[in-house]
Amino acid sequence: MRNAPTILHLDMDAFFASAEQASKPSLRGKAVVVGGLGPRGVVATASYEARVFGVHSAMPMAQARRLAPNAAYLVPRGGFYKLISEQVMGLLHALSPLVEPLSLDEAFVDLEAGEAAWDEASARLAGSRLRADIRAVTGLTGSVGLAASKMLAKIASEQAKPDGLVVIEPGTERALLGPMSVRTLPGVGPATGDHLRRTGISTVDELAEAGEDELVRLLGKAHGHALYAMAMAHDERPVVAARETKSVSVEDTYDVDIHDRVRVGTEVQRLADRCVRRLRGAGLSGRTIVLKVRRYDFSTLTRSETLRGPTDDPGVVREAAARLLEAVDTTGGVRLLGVGVSGLADYTQEDLFAQAAGELAALEPVEEAEGEAVEEQEAPAERRWTSGHDVRHADFGHGWVQGSGLGRVTVRFETPESEQPGRVRTFRTDDPALEPADPLPLVTLAPRRPDGPDEDSVDQASSVPASLPKSWSGNGGGGATSRP
**β-strands 32-35, 72-74 pairing:** parallel
In the set 49, 106, 112, 414, the catalytic residue is 106
The single-letter code of the amino acid at 67 is L
Per-residue CA distances from 318 to 234, 307, 359, 426, 445 (Å)? 48, 13, 11, 40, 44
Decide if 476 contacts 449 (C-beta within 8 A).
no
Integer Cα distance of 268 and 273 in angstroms: 9
The upper half-sphere exposure of residue 75, i.e. CA atoms within 13 Å in the direction of its Cβ, equals 21
User: Is 106 an active-site residue?
Assistant: yes
- Give the angle subtended at the CA of 262 by the CAs of 258 and 268, to the nearest 5°: 75
Integer Cα distance of 297 and 335 in angstroms: 9
> Does residue 105 have a known ligand-binding role?
yes
Q: What count of other Cβ atoms lies within 10 Å of the Cβ of residue 82?
A: 12
Decide if 262 contacts 338 (C-beta within 8 A).
no
The upper half-sphere exposure of residue 344, i.e. CA atoms within 13 Å in the direction of its Cβ, equals 19
Contacts of 64 (CB under 8 A, 6+ apart): 33, 35, 43, 46, 50, 55, 71, 73
Active site residues: 106
- Which residues are documented as binding site for Mg(2+)? 11, 105
- Which residues are documented as binding site? 11, 105
